[in-house]
Amino acid sequence: MNKTMGIRGFALLWTAQLISIVGSALTGFVLGVWTYERSGSATQFALIMLSGAVPAVLIAPFAGAITDRFHRRHVLVAADVVALASVGALAALIGTGGMQVWHIYVVTALTAMCGTVHQITFGAMIPLLVPKEHLGRANGLSQVVFSAQIAAPIAAGGLLAFAGLHGVILVDVVTFGASLLVVLLVPLPAGAVRAAGVEPGGPSIWRQVPAGWAELRRRPGMTGLIAVLGGFYFCFGLAGTLIRPLVLSFASPAELGFQVFAGGAGLFLGSLVMGAWGGPKRRMRGIALFMVAGGIGMAVHGLAPSLALVIAVGPFFLFTLPVITGTAQTLLQTKSDPANLGKVLATSRAVSQAAGPLAYITAGPLADGVFEPLMRADGALAGSVGALIGTGPGRGMALMFLLSGALLVVLGAIAARPGLRRVEDLPDLVAEGEPEASRQDTPGEDIAGEDIAREDIAGKGTAEGTAGDTAGKGTAPVAVEEPVAAAAGGEERRK
Furthest CA-CA distance within the chain: 73
| pLDDT of res. 150 | 63
Phi, psi of 168 (to 5 degrees): -65, -45
Taking the C-alpha atoms of residue 242 and residue 236, their distance in angstroms, rounded to an integer, is 10
DSSP alpha helix (H) spans, 40-151: 42-69, 72-95, 101-129, 135-148
Q: Could you give the C-alpha distances from 289 to 99, 115, 438, in angstroms and in order?
A: 48, 31, 38
- Full pLDDT tens readout for the chain, 495 residues: 457 888 999 999 998 888 887 788 788 778 877 887 787 766 677 788 778 888 888 898 899 989 888 899 999 999 999 999 999 999 999 999 899 999 999 999 998 899 889 888 988 899 989 998 888 899 888 877 766 666 666 677 777 778 888 998 999 999 999 999 999 999 998 888 876 555 555 667 777 778 888 888 898 899 999 999 999 999 998 998 899 899 989 998 778 878 878 888 898 899 899 989 999 999 999 999 999 999 999 999 999 999 999 999 999 999 999 999 999 989 998 998 887 878 898 898 888 878 877 887 888 889 999 999 999 999 999 999 999 999 999 999 999 999 999 999 999 999 999 999 999 889 888 655 445 444 577 665 443 333 333 334 333 333 333 333 333 344 333 333 333 333 333 344 444
| Partners of residue 440 on adjacent β-strands | 189
* All residues at 6 or more sequence positions from 176 whose CB lies less than 8 Å from its CB, including other chains: 20, 23, 24, 80, 83, 84, 87, 495
| pLDDT of res. 461 | 38
Q: Could you give the C-alpha distances from 95 to 104, 111, 167, 439, 442, in angstroms and in order?
A: 14, 20, 10, 46, 38
| Partners of residue 188 on adjacent β-strands | 441
Taking the C-alpha atoms of residue 75 and residue 316, their distance in angstroms, rounded to an integer, is 38
| pLDDT of res. 215 | 87
| pLDDT of res. 398 | 97
Taking the C-alpha atoms of residue 24 and residue 77, their distance in angstroms, rounded to an integer, is 18
Secondary structure element (H or E) that encloses residue 354, with its range: helix 341-366
What's the CA dihedral at 445, 451, 455, 458 to 10 degrees?
160
Tell me how crowded residue 280 is: count the other CB atoms within 10 A of its CB: 17
Taking the C-alpha atoms of residue 431 and residue 68, their distance in angstroms, rounded to an integer, is 19
Between vectors from CA 270 to CA 114 and to CA 121, what angle results, nearest 5°? 20
Taking the C-alpha atoms of residue 91 and residue 57, their distance in angstroms, rounded to an integer, is 26
